[in-house]
A and B are shown apart, each in its own frame.
Chain A
Amino acid sequence: MPWLGLIVALPLLGFALNGALGRRLGKRFVSAVGCGLPIASALIALRCFLALLETGAPISETAFTWAVIGDRAFEVSFWFDRLSAVMALVVTGVGSLIHVYSIGYMKNDGSYARYFAFLNLFLFFMLLLVLGRSMLVLFVGWEGVGLASYLLIGFWFEDPAKAKAGKKAFITNRVGDGAFLLGMFILYGALGTLDMVRINEAFLAGPVPAVSATVIGLLLFAGATGKSAQIPLYVWLPDAMAGPTPVSALIHAATMVTAGVYMVARLNGVYLQAPDAAQVIASVGAATALLAATIAVAQYDIKKVLAYSTISQLGFMFLALGVGATGFAVFHLMTHAFFKACLFLGAGSVIHALGGEQDIRKMGGLWRRIPVTFATFLIATAAIAGIPGLAGFWSKDEILLYAFGSSEGGAVLLWATGAFTALLTSFYMFRLVWLTFFGRSRMSHEVEHHVHESPISMTGVLAVLALLSIVGGFIHVPHFLEPVLPIPALTAAGEDAEGALMGISIAIALTGLALAWFFFSNGGARAEGARRALSPLHGFLANRWYVDELYELLIIRPLHWISDRVFLRIGDRLLIDGALHGLASLARRGAHAFSLVQTGNLHLYALLALLGGALLLALRWLNG
């Protein structure tokens, strides 16, 4: 059986069925197909995983030959080693859970079938991305998830703002994809193959002649900054929250945005040869983590807080990738998928309960009203904040340890940035919990009357994800991945500081909790005081460092100006239109001149014919 092909193809079948027949066959059919096939995919992925554990050998499977050019063939083939196994399990597992959750969340939506069709389409492309053996297949998946993301961000396209958010995500990603393509071209030019297994082998065997690993590494990373929302291309992710909340959970938190992390981890052979590129990745990751965390502190939209938190956590993953701790990046990717999906779905449950309200200033005191949502949200918050024992603690602590003491680029500054970000993370997450669930209710009477706990299909999923957020950290993923992703050695200083760093991590998480408690417990009076005292800073953060405005000023406006003045007015209207209109006018005037001969006078025509004939004869006679 082509099991790997089946994992990928089942969601595509779901897309085809729901897309073509969903509207006619009703919600029961749509739910069964939309959730059943991803679950089947997940079970097959589990089966392949068990087979992998048993034999220890990666599974390779060729679906078909896509194209043959000369003596080179491009094959669509799948590769199931330990890394893709972890990714496939996370994608299908969390994906299936979110599909099930969506049944309850979307049940009153008019475009129920379209929603599930798109969600299945996303899963298909994501699985193509993580299982593809060739970079070409990875790239098809890479673009495909971008498409699905665009379709689902703009799912409620009647609202122009939401349609615009979808466009922003798509266009921003194009910038990164351009660089990614260039990287692929250079790789193919140098090695003559896009097979990632062979690319890694080639680079691990030593420096590859005639090609700079640094250039390739940086170009591919530029692609990752688009998909995985890093500086400078992260700006699309907060806007992507316009989509339905389960979509934010699946695509913009748990899976798609981690594609860049996966890609860099998959090509770790290239990055081992490119320490400069790795250093850039670590710095960009740390800077993104810090920037996004500072913004998250001052946001009031529950989903925006989580969006910036996602960007920040992705920054942590890239920090880990940059210091060579690739396995820990994937570990954090996995635990993050659990707790961030739980947080987003919990936020969805809150929004659902409040009839669409997303502003945390208009919430409060919800813990008694929606206890299951509250409990799961609290667990996931504790996990992301790094409270000891929960999933996020293990992965984040190890990343900070390697940021400090990795022999492949660890530095105190990286660690300090990461640690400060962790403090902010703990603070803004508990702030979110406090404003949403504790204190006095700030809801309007109508909304308050309406509040209700979500159906079991939603709370059940929340409970499973909360459980995973607790136990997920005890699976030691980096160790499992070590055959594929080697763990770098610690420097002497790093080894000495290991215990102290863990202590600091715990202290940081608890400090964040204490700060949130201090500021927000007393009805938020102290927080309000602090906001007044630091008003300019708060405004700066609340307006997201004015990055969107800066891009508008530096890139979008000049681009518009050039498009309008140079390309439209001079290029299009003056040169192209002018040339064509000129030709048309020339033809018309010429035709007019010749039409003067057409008098309609029969005798003139006969005379002209006569003269013409005479002229021909005369010429013939003259030429002998």
Chain B
Amino acid sequence: MDSAQMLVALGAILFVLGLAGAVVRRNLLVVLMCLELMLNGVNVELVTFSRLHGSTAGGVLVFLVFVVAAAELAVAIPIVLLLVRHKKTLDADAFKDLKG
């Protein structure tokens, strides 16, 4: 198994870990962290394939993902903060009544 294959496998593992965490964990902060894990799994894949093909496009896309992820967190964390202030808990199930 060469290094490229290992890097692809690492990215996939990171993504699946993040996905599993986002689906099963109830703590909102952990869910957010898991989301980041998934994004970074994808990033690893992007740089790996970028190197394999000798193209910089994948590397550039990674920076875009960074920016979007940062922006997303900047919005998501305050929302979580406000929700927690309202219900005094981080449990996602406590917010079921927000459904339309």
Chain A residues engaging chain B, CB cutoff 8 angstroms? 595, 598-603, 606-607, 610
- Report the stretch among B23-31, B39-47, B62-70 that lies at the interface: B23-31
Q: A606 near B99 (CB under 8 angstroms)?
A: no
* Chain B residues with CB below 8 A from A607, complex form: 23
Q: Which residue of A lies closest to B93 (CB)?
A: A601
Q: Is B12 interfacial (CB 8 A cutoff)?
A: no
A600-B98, A602-B92, A607-B23 given; 5 more Cβ-contact pairs under 8 Å: A600-B95, A600-B97, A601-B92, A602-B93, A610-B23
B98 contacts across to A, CB distance below 8 A:
600
CB within 8 Å: A-B pair count: 26
A599–B93 Cα distance when bound, in Å, is 10
- The interface residues of chain B lying within 8 Å CB-to-CB of A602 are 31, 92-93, 95
A and B contact pairs by CB, cutoff 8 A, 23 listed:
A595-B100, A598-B100, A599-B96, A599-B99, A600-B95, A600-B97, A600-B98, A600-B99, A601-B92, A601-B93, A601-B96, A602-B31, A602-B92, A602-B95, A603-B23, A603-B24, A603-B26, A603-B92, A606-B22, A606-B23, A607-B23, A610-B19, A610-B23
A601: which B residues are within 8 A, CB to CB? Answer: 92-93, 96
Q: By the criterion of a CB under 8 Å from any partner CB, how many residues of chain B are at the interface?
A: 14
Quick one: closest B residue to A598, CB to CB?
B99
Top 3 closest pairs, chain A to chain B, by CB: A600-B99, A600-B96, A602-B92
Please give the distance in Å from B17's CB to the nearest CB on chain A. Answer: 13
On chain B, the residues within 8 Å of A600 by CB distance are: 95-99
User: How far does the alpha carbon of A602 sit from the alpha carbon of B21 in the complex, in Å?
Assistant: 12
Give chain B nearest CB distance to A610 CB in angstroms: 6
Which A-chain residue is minimally distant from B34 (CB atoms)?
A606
Q: How far is the CA of A595 from the CA of B100 in the complex (A)?
A: 8
The minimal Cβ–Cβ distance linking B75 to chain A, given in whole angstroms, is: 16
> Please, which residues of chain A bring their CB within 8 A of the CB of B26?
603
CB of A432 to closest CB in B, whole Å: 80
| Distance in Å: Cβ of A613 to nearest Cβ of chain B | 9
Q: Which residues 78-100 in B have Cβ within 8 Å of A in the complex?
A: 92-93, 95-100
Per-position 1/0 for B1-43, Cβ under 8 A of A:
0000000000000000001001110100001000000000000
Which B positions have Cβ atoms within 8 angstroms of A? 19, 22-24, 26, 31, 92-93, 95-100
A317–B97 CA distance with the chains assembled, in angstroms: 85
| Alpha-carbon distance A140/B95, docked complex (angstroms) | 70
B99 nearest CB neighbor, chain A only? A600
Instruction: Please name the residue on chain A nearest to B24 by beta carbon.
Output: A603
CA distance A581 to B93 in the complex (A): 38
Q: Chain A's nearest CB lies how many Å from the CB of B21?
A: 10
Question: Which B-chain residue is minimally distant from A602 (CB atoms)?
Answer: B92
Q: How far does the alpha carbon of A413 sit from the alpha carbon of B98 in the complex, in Å?
A: 92
CA distance A534 to B26 in the complex (A): 104
When chains A and B are docked, how far (Å) is the Cα of A607 from the Cα of B19? 9
A606 to B34, CA, bound (A): 12
Q: Which residue on chain B has the smallest CB distance to residue A604? A: B23
- Give A607 to B23 CA distance when docked, in angstroms: 6
The answer for the CA separation of A540 and B19 in the assembled complex, in Å, is: 97
CA–CA, A601 and B19, complex, Å? 16
Alpha-carbon distance A603/B30, docked complex (angstroms): 13
Per the bound structure, the CA–CA distance linking A599 and B23 in Å amounts to 15
> Nearest CB to that of B97 among chain A residues?
A600
Query: Once the chains are docked, how many angstroms separate the CA of A610 from the CA of B21?
Result: 12
A360 to B95, CA, bound (A): 88
Question: What's the Cα separation between A598 and B24 when bound, in Å?
Answer: 18
Residues of A within 8 A of B92 (CB): 601-603
Residues of the B chain whose Cβ atoms lie less than 8 Å from the Cβ of A603: 23-24, 26, 92
CA distance A598 to B100 in the complex (A): 8
In the complex, the chain B residue whose C-beta lies closest to that of A613 is B19
How far is B100's CA from A599's CA once the two chains are assembled, in angstroms? 9
C-alpha spacing A598/B99, complex, angstroms: 7
- Please measure, in the bound complex, the distance between the C-alpha atom of A541 and the C-alpha atom of B24, giving whole angstroms: 97
Return chain B residues, CB-CB under 8 Å to A606.
22-23
Chain B residue at minimal CB-CB distance from A608: B23
- Give the residues in chain A near B19, CB-CB below 8 Å: 610
> Nearest-CB distance from B69 to chain A (Å)?
17
Chain A residue numbers with a CB within 8 Å of B31 are: 602
Residues of A within 8 A of B96 (CB): 599-601
CB distance from A478 to the nearest CB of B (A): 85
Residues on A with C-beta less than 8 A from B23 are 603, 606-607, 610
B94 to chain A, nearest CB (A): 10
Most buried by A among B19, B23, B93: B23
* Min C-beta distance of A575 to chain B, whole Å: 35
Measured in the bound complex, the distance between the Cα atoms of B23 and A602 in whole Å is: 8
Q: How far is the CA of A268 from the CA of B24 in the complex (A)?
A: 96
A588 to nearest B CB, angstroms? 15
Contacts of A595 in B (CB 8 A): 100
Closest CB of chain A to B74's CB: distance in Å?
20
Shortest distance from the beta carbon of B34 to any chain A beta carbon, whole Å: 9
Q: A591 to nearest B CB, angstroms?
A: 11
B90 vs chain A, min Cβ distance (A): 12
Chain B residue at smallest Cβ distance from A606: B23
Q: With a CB–CB cut-off of 8 A, which chain B residues contact A598? A: 99-100
* Residue in A598, A599, A603, A607 with the greatest tally of chain B CB atoms within 10 Å: A603
- Per the bound structure, the CA–CA distance linking A610 and B98 in Å amounts to 22
CA distance A607 to B21 in the complex (A): 11
CA distance A603 to B100 in the complex (A): 16
Closest A residue to B28 by beta carbon equals A602
B93 CB contacts on chain A under 8 angstroms: 601-602
